[in-house]
Amino acid sequence: MAKPIYILNGPNLNLLGAREPEIYGSQTLADIEKLSATRAQAGGFSAVFRQTNREGELVEWIHEAREKGSAVVINAAAYTHTSVALHDALKAVDLPVIEVHLSNIHRRESFRHHSFISAAADGVIVGLGAHGYELAVDAAIALAKSRTKAP
């Protein structure tokens, strides 16, 4: 059985659906979890889907994914723009890493334009709402499969 895809979500994403729906859409995090799990299963993988409001917990989950996962999909939310700790944790992961954001962070306030995650990610998906998670899971699976093929 393949190891799961870790899909990690940062602060305030537990409020999706109610929080600034004009920016983040009306789907809840539970809706996104279902979409992501379905997509992972279609690709032959299971998903570990988590959310926390604490930076250190995200760091610990990234460490867990290093050992127990096939790939990491991460929406670090506001920590994207502030966290060297998450950057360093992701650099230590020898697995595919896909960064995802619901909104197009480049079309928003300038403080959202820089991501500490991007330099540690294989790919970045922004601005496509919940569908971005499905695309991120697909990309993570494609990369995980190509990395496990014999050279």
- For ligand DQA, the binding residue among 50, 66, 112, 131 (CB under 6 A) is 112
- For ligand DQA, the binding residue among 2, 3, 12, 131 (CB under 6 A) is 12
Return the SS3 of 7. strand
Query: Nearer Cβ to ligand DQA, position 34 or 145?
Result: 34
Establish if 118 lies at the interface with ligand DQA (CB under 6 A). no
76 phi and psi angles, rounded to 5 deg:
-80, 0
Q: Which stretch binds ligand DQA (CB under 6 A): 38-46, 51-59, 64-72, 74-82?
A: 74-82
Q: List CB contacts of 8: < 8 A, sequence separation 6 or more.
A: 50, 51, 58, 61, 62, 65, 72, 73, 74, 75, 76
- For ligand DQA, the binding residue among 48, 52, 98, 101 (CB under 6 A) is 101
Query: Nearer Cβ to ligand DQA, position 2 or 138?
Result: 138
101 given a catalytic annotation: yes
CA-to-CA dists, residue 147 to 27, 70, 112, 134, 141, angstroms? 33, 10, 32, 20, 10
- For ligand DQA, the binding residue among 27, 36, 80, 83 (CB under 6 A) is 80
143 phi and psi angles, rounded to 5 deg:
-70, -40
Q: What secondary structure letter does DSSP report for 96?
A: -
Establish if 46 lies at the interface with ligand DQA (CB under 6 A). no
114 given a catalytic annotation: no
Establish if 9 lies at the interface with ligand DQA (CB under 6 A). no
Distance CA 7, CA 71 (A): 9
Can you give the binding site for ligand DQA, defined by CB under 6 A? 12, 75, 77-78, 80, 101-103, 105, 112
Provide the annotated active-site residues.
Answer: 24, 101
